[in-house]
Chains A and B, each alone.
Chain A
Amino acid sequence: MIICIPLGYFIANTKHFIKPFLESILSIPIVLPPTVLGFYLLIFFSKDSFFGSFLDSFDISLLFTFPVLVIASCIYSLPFMIQPIINAFEKVDKNLMCASYTLQANKIKTFFKVILPNIYSSIIIAMVMSFAHTMGEFGVVLMIGGSIDGVSKVASIAIYEYVEELNYTMAHIYSLIMLLISFTILLITNIIKNKNIRYA
């Protein structure tokens, strides 16, 4: 959210030639196979890379740890977070912003008092959807997390492993929990969306 809100605001309001490049870069995780993204992240964080060797000089190794899963999930889910925020910023009535400026409010006051409250439902929807998307991620986390028990094993990988072991009972339990969580998240999203439409 800390990255996506300022970045989304910039992309929605800029007419700079860099805009289509930024939008394309941020949308790459949608079209790229998760294993490709996982592979590049694996290279990026490995000790042979510039960044990995830099971290290694401080005795830090991120590969196959929980923090690298969080970083990878953030990158993977970025388009699902940022696209609704860009769309919401683009839809804010420019006259509202102008009205705020003519009342002697500067850009910062206008942003926090007028623009953000107008897109709060889109931010909540974006957060919920990106969380749901991250929860079901498989390829990226397997590539850089390695499915280590108690460290980097996530539910989606655990289900796959239980099925491989023919332990259908545990696979059912995990799958049912995932199904219930996914349904609840989508229900919350749609309730917020409908509430927003009703009052718009």
Chain B
Amino acid sequence: MLEFDIKTTQNNKSYHFKSSFKSSKIHSIIGESGSGKSTFLNMLIGKTPLDEGFIKYNDRVIFDSYKNINTKIHTRNIAYVFQSLSLFENMNVSENIAYGLKDKNKLNDYIKKYKLEEIQKSSIRNLSGGQKAKCAIVRSLASDYEILLLDEAFANLDDSSKNIYKQSFINLAKTQNKCIIFISHNLKDVYDISDEVYEIENGKIDKVKNHTCDKLELLSINKNNKDNIYYVKNSFIRIDSSVIFEDNQADITFKSILDI
């Protein structure tokens, strides 16, 4: 279990994140742009300095300001797919994936498993956005980690690739006891893979609870949302699309909520 109670101040904005994330689960984090989602991940890996608090994974102390413990980033066993992907352009795809791989004999297994054979020798500069995203995700998966952080990792992926990686993350969490933290603005992706969903707002993190309300403003309306899953205030709900009006308002009653 990942437990944390951490505080920092960045650009005159205070953040205080306190919660615990279970291993073997995928925890998604949603929130408006600039709410501090990436800052939260950067605090976990040690990129953003913390004012005080602690981070623990199982019995291993990663950071504890009270005991003056602050482990170095490379010993935290936290893999991170950056929003900017941050691929090494002086290396090709294979070399990027092999960078954090302890057993180099497994390199081909990763390349085959994630269907990267065609681009394995390609320069990073020649890849499309989607190919770069795949390379960055596989590079992190190939490293030795206990916690995996994904910051908008699916942003450039097509639907079929997304489904492959979604299934991989679900399997990794369940079979290899990994703790996965997933940031996304795409609520369908969040709904598909999450065991638990959290929202960051006003510098704090809160678990999203399912509840019902009347006449709420819909925060997200996807016209092609076949499943009619919407995120309304602090809830994921499945509603009858006939209650949605053009002005992003919906008359949601108990009758129109199909499922939570």
Report which A residues bind B (CB closer than 8 A).
93-96, 98-107, 113-114, 117-118, 199
Contact = CB atoms under 8 A, between A and B. Distances in A.
16 contacts: A96-B86, A98-B47, A98-B73, A98-B80, A99-B80, A99-B88, A101-B45, A102-B78, A102-B79, A102-B100, A102-B140, A103-B99, A104-B143, A104-B144, A105-B74, A113-B88
B82 A98 contact: yes
Contacts of B143: 102-104
B79 A113 contact: no
Given A103-B139, A106-B74, A118-B89, 8 more contacts: A95-B82, A95-B86, A100-B88, A101-B73, A102-B140, A104-B100, A105-B74, A117-B90
Size category of the binding interface on chain B: 20 to 34
B72 interface: yes
B84 A102 contact: no
B125 interface: yes
Nearest to A110: B74
Interface string B223-247: 0000000000000000000000000
A95 B73 CA distance: 12
Contacts, number: 64
Interface of B: 45, 47, 72-80, 82, 84, 86-90, 99-100, 125, 139-140, 143-145
Nearest to B100: A103
A199 B145 CA distance: 33
B45 A98 contact: yes
B125 A95 contact: no
Nearest to A95: B86
Contacts of B140: 102-103
Contacts of A95: 82, 84, 86
A166 B172 CA distance: 83
Nearest to B83: A95
Contact of B72 (A93, A94, A101, A114): A101
B125 A199 contact: yes
A100 B72 contact: no
B165 to A, nearest CB: 18
Contact of B73 (A93, A102, A118, A199): A102
Nearest to A93: B86
A47 to B, nearest CB: 50
A101 B99 CA distance: 11
The 6 closest A-B pairs by CB, nearest first: A103-B100, A101-B73, A117-B90, A99-B86, A102-B80, A95-B86
Contacts of A94: 47
Contact of A102 (B74, B87, B88): B74
A95 B89 CA distance: 13
B34 to A, nearest CB: 18
A108 to B, nearest CB: 11
Nearest to B90: A117
Contacts of A98: 45, 47, 73, 80, 82, 86
